[in-house]
Amino acid sequence: MKKILSLLFITIFAASLCAQNDKKPILKFENSTHDFGTFDEAEGKVTTEFNFTNEGNMPLVITRTAASCGCTTPEYPKEPISPGKSGVIKVTYNAKGRPGQFQKSVYVYANTEPEKTTLIIKGVVNPKDATPEEVYSREIGELKLKAKHISFLDVFNTKSKSEIIGVYNPTNKPISVSFADLPRYINATMEPNPLPAKGEGQIVTTIHPDKCKEWGVIKGDFSVLINRQKNTANQISFTADIKEDFSIMTDKDKNNAPEITLSSSVVSLGEVNAKFTKDIEIENTGKSDLIIRDIKTSNAIYGIIANNTKLKPGEKTKIVISCDPSTSKSKIMNSNITIITNDPANSIQVVKVRAFTK
């Protein structure tokens, strides 16, 4: 009899534990994904609601929500949701400045198992037509421009190259545009000129490498005059990479080309505290004259002198690197010395200089 009572007690106790363990909230959404479809960017913010029910037998508490992007904002009920009751998670997506297809995640954290539930919003945003003020976002005086910097990439020494900057006149009167302080190898024109009121045009800038004494990467700027008025702040900057056009060489030319050989490509000086010079030897190991087109340094504290810029086959020369550490604003005095020659196989050679001071 005692055994029967004992077994009965254990059975009732176990059933009680199971009943307690079964008491939990269950977060059930009608849909976990919403497709906004296709809509216009001009609509700005769009919102949807995810309806849910607590299908458990304990109050549901949503502790927090999070989104995969700052463009998505979820809102959730702060009060507990009783068993059998429903609620709404509101999700807003800001389409402004975000044209194209999108898919974002919203994470809902609650006293459920598992703790996190993921919701998805998606859609396609048609871009709005940009206003002239948005297209031409830079300013020079009254003139609006698409850019204030020009990049001339791969400028070969055999031909000129032009780049265009789009411009807009937002005023109700024509604007006359002219240019000053142009390097001798750069020219610029305004088309049309004057620029009509509310009219669009372009600044055409052309680089003539045959008029430039520099090689490799060069930088500069020039002034833009609005209605013949000069303002030092009204400038367009430019960079250019001037290269030798080796494509015009024949196979015979390449077989008889010059060849640069350096005594060292790394100069490790360690700690330096006084003026110094260092020599790098250059030898022409090719079959025709080697011409040193240009030598550049990435650190202005270094001076560079080439004893000879034209080497016959087998001939050697030295470039002298000098420095005064007292002129350095930094304790680290590293520099890259770039040597540009007419060697078609290795037209650019870099010597790394490594030094420091107390």
In a domain, 12, yes or no: no
In a domain, 6, yes or no: no
Q: Which among 340, 341, 293, 286 has a CA at the least distance from the CA of 314? A: 286
Two tokens, residue 106: 């919203």
DSSP for 133-202, written as a single string: HHHS-EEETTEEES-SEEEEEEEETTS-EEEEEEEE--SSS-B-EEEES--TTEEEEEESSSBPTT-EEE
DSSP, res 252: H
Cβ pair 318, 339 in contact under 8 A: no
Out of 105, 126, 147, pick the residue that ends a domain.
126
Residue in the block written with tokens 């077994």:
7
Q: What residues make up the domain containing 211?
A: 132-243
* pTM for this model (two decimals): 0.67
Tell me, what's the pLDDT at 342?
96
> Using one digit for the tens of pLDDT, what is the confidence trace for 311-343?
999 999 999 999 999 999 999 999 999 999 999
In a domain, 113, yes or no: yes
Residue in the block written with tokens 């420095």:
323
Q: How far apart, in whole angstroms, are the C-alpha atoms of residue 271 and residue 312?
A: 37
State the total domains in the chain.
3
Q: What's the Cα-to-Cα distance from 151 to each of 178, 216, 234, 237, rounded to whole Å?
A: 20, 13, 18, 9
Cβ pair 241, 296 in contact under 8 A: no
> Using one digit for the tens of pLDDT, what is the confidence trace for 131-168?
888 899 999 999 999 999 999 999 999 999 999 999 99
Strand pairing category for 348-356 and 266-271: parallel
What CATH number is attached to the domain comprising 219? 2.60.40.10
Residue in the block written with tokens 């560079």:
304
21 has pLDDT over 60: no
Residues 112 and 139 in one domain: no
